[in-house]
Amino acid sequence: MDNITPKNDSNEKKELEENSEKIEQNFENKEENKTEEQTVNKTEEKKNDPFDNLSNKQPSNQDNIKQNIESKKAPTKTKKKSNTWVWAIGIGCGGLVVCFVVFFMFVMFLASAGTKNKSSNKTVFNNPNYNFVMGEQSSKNRILEIPVVGAIMDDQSDNVKKNLSLRIKENLKIASEDHSIRAIIFTIDSPGGGITPTDIIWNDIKKFKAKRKIPVITYCENITASGGYYIASSTDYIMATETSLVGSIGVISQFMEMEKLFDKLGIKWNVITSNKSNGNKSFKDMGSFTRKMTPEEKAFFQSLVQEMWNKFVDVVAEGRKGKLTRDQVANLADGRIYTGKTALKLGLIDGVGYKEDAFNKAKEMANLDSAQLVNYKPKLDYFKDLFESKNESPIPSVKTLIEGQTPQFMYMWTAGGSYSEN
3-class SS string, the chain: CCCHHHHHHHHHHHHHHHHHHHHHHHHHHHHHHHHHHHHHHHHHHHHHCCCCCHHHCCHHHHHHHHHHHHHHHHHHHHHHHHHHHHHHHHHHHHHHHHHHHHHHHHHHHHHHHCEEECCCCEEECCHHHEEEEEECCCCCCEEEEEEEECCECCCCCCCCCCCHHHHHHHHHHHHHHCCCEEEEEEEEEECEEEHHHHHHHHHHHHHHHHHCCCCEEEEEEEEEECHHHHHHCCCCEEEECCCCEEECCCCEECCCCCHHHHHHHCCCCCCCCCECCCCCECCCCCCCCCCCCCHHHHHHHHHHHHHHHHHHHHHHHHHCCCCCCHHHHHHHCCCCEEEHHHHHHHCCCCEECCHHHHHHHHHHHCCCCCCEEEEECCCCCHHHHHHCCCCCCCCCCHHHHHHHHCCCEEEECCCCCCCCCC
Predicted confidence at residue 5, as pLDDT, reads 46
Predicted confidence at residue 267, as pLDDT, reads 86
In angstroms, the CA 248 to CA 420 distance is 21
Give the residue among 316, 314, 311 at the shortest CA–CA distance from 349. Answer: 316
Give the residue among 336, 316, 337, 312 at the shortest CA–CA distance from 325. Answer: 316
In angstroms, the CA 198 to CA 245 distance is 18
Domain 127-274+287-390+404-412 CATH superfamily: 2-enoyl-CoA Hydratase; Chain A, domain 1 (3.90.226.10)
Q: Is 60 a catalytic residue?
A: no
Predicted confidence at residue 257, as pLDDT, reads 81
Predicted confidence at residue 119, as pLDDT, reads 35
Backbone angles phi, psi at 245, to 5 degrees: -105, 120
Reported pTM = 0.66
Mean pLDDT (10-residue bins), the chain, 422 residues: 48 64 63 59 53 48 55 49 66 75 68 43 51 93 95 70 83 93 97 94 96 96 96 97 96 86 84 83 79 89 95 97 96 96 97 97 96 83 52 48 66 66 42
Amino acid (1-letter code) at residue 151:
A
In angstroms, the CA 75 to CA 71 distance is 8
Q: Is 112 a catalytic residue?
A: no
Name the residue ranges covered by the structural domains of the chain.
82-113, 127-274+287-390+404-412
In angstroms, the CA 130 to CA 108 distance is 15
Pick the catalytic residue from 165, 190, 226, 233: 226
Predicted confidence at residue 322, as pLDDT, reads 94
Predicted confidence at residue 419, as pLDDT, reads 42
In angstroms, the CA 206 to CA 222 distance is 24
Predicted confidence at residue 401, as pLDDT, reads 46
Backbone angles phi, psi at 399, to 5 degrees: -60, -40
Backbone angles phi, psi at 260, to 5 degrees: -65, -40
Pick the catalytic residue from 140, 211, 281, 284: 284
Predicted confidence at residue 265, as pLDDT, reads 87
Predicted confidence at residue 108, as pLDDT, reads 62
Predicted confidence at residue 293, as pLDDT, reads 87
Predicted confidence at residue 34, as pLDDT, reads 58
Q: What angle do CA 362, 248, 344 make, to 5 degrees?
A: 45
